[in-house]
């Protein structure tokens, strides 16, 4: 069965058809030819459910091909970070993480070069879920520091969220990064957190402020 038909069964089929299509992808040899057919189908697709399931299959069945050959797919993935479907965006971010450090470089470059603040914010959000971030830690932290001073609230917002989510103040901190490199960032995050506390009273921003103030107080007490 052709790739597009398999994806259509996954997206729109009944339980039996979806299961059969999923089984076909699982049992098929994950060859470069199959990978190229799938990516070619994805790039042409304009149905969000087809795109979602295509990305899902790509991530789960072709991770090695994504790591080896995924750089060619990066521009298409970046263009879909602002897709109207959240499930599609979730899979785009996941695919970028599977690709590796080339995707981190592309995300950094896009934030620095684009004049579109919506795309800047989307790329900043994608960085926080990339498992190869540690390989470009200093560049990412410099980017976040600059983005926290953006004239656009949405960019400041996502720079704040990403700064906190990858920081040593969180229990899931990636210890391949250096905690001391984050110290200059905290004082840049604080006024942005306060800005969003004032405008939304959201508990998460209060939590950010409290984590940072407690950390700074602990450092001062040493």
Residue 57 lies in a domain: no
What's the whole-model pTM score? 0.90
Cβ count within 10 A of residue 146 = 14
User: Domain range for residue 218?
Assistant: 135-222
Token output for 153: 């609230």
Residue 83 lies in a domain: no
Q: What whole-number distance in Å separates Cα of residue 166 and Cα of residue 138? A: 12
Return the residue matching tokens 């989307």: 122
Residue 101 lies in a domain: no
3-class DSSP assignment, residue 80: coil
Token output for 81: 């970070």
What is the number of domains present in the chain?
Answer: 1
Token output for 162: 């990403």
Residue 139 lies in a domain: yes
Q: Along the 222 residues of the chain, how does pLDDT read in single tens digits?
A: 577 777 777 777 777 776 666 666 655 555 777 888 889 989 988 899 999 988 998 998 889 999 988 899 999 999 999 999 999 999 999 999 999 999 999 999 999 999 999 999 999 999 999 999 999 999 999 999 999 999 999 999 999 999 999 999 999 999 999 999 999 999 999 999 999 999 998 999 999 999 999 999 998 887
């Amino acid at each position: 069965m052709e790739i597009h038909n398999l994806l259509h069964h996954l997206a729109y089929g009944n339980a039996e058809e979806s299961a059969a299509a999923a089984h076909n992808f699982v049992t098929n040899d994950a060859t470069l030819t199959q990978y190229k057919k799938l990516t070619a189908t994805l790039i042409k697709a304009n149905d969000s459910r087809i795109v979602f399931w295509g990305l899902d299959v790509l991530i789960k069945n072709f991770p090695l091909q994504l790591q080896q050959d995924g750089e060619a797919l990066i521009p298409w993935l970046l263009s879909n970070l602002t897709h109207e479907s959240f499930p599609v965006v979730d899979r785009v971010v996941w695919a970028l993480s599977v690709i590796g450090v080339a995707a981190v470089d592309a995300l950094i470059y896009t934030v620095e070069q684009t004049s579109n603040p919506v795309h800047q914010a989307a790329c900043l959000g994608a960085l926080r879920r990339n498992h190869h971030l540690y390989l470009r830690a200093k560049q990412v932290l410099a980017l976040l520091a600059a983005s926290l001073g953006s004239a656009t609230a949405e960019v400041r917002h996502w720079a704040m969220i990403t700064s906190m989510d990858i920081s040593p103040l969180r229990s899931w901190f990636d210890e391949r990064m250096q905690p001391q490199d984050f110290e200059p960032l905290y004082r840049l995050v604080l006024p942005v957190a306060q800005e969003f506390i004032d405008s939304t009273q959201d508990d998460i921003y209060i939590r950010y402020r409290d984590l940072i103030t407690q950390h700074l107080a602990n450092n001062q007490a040493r």
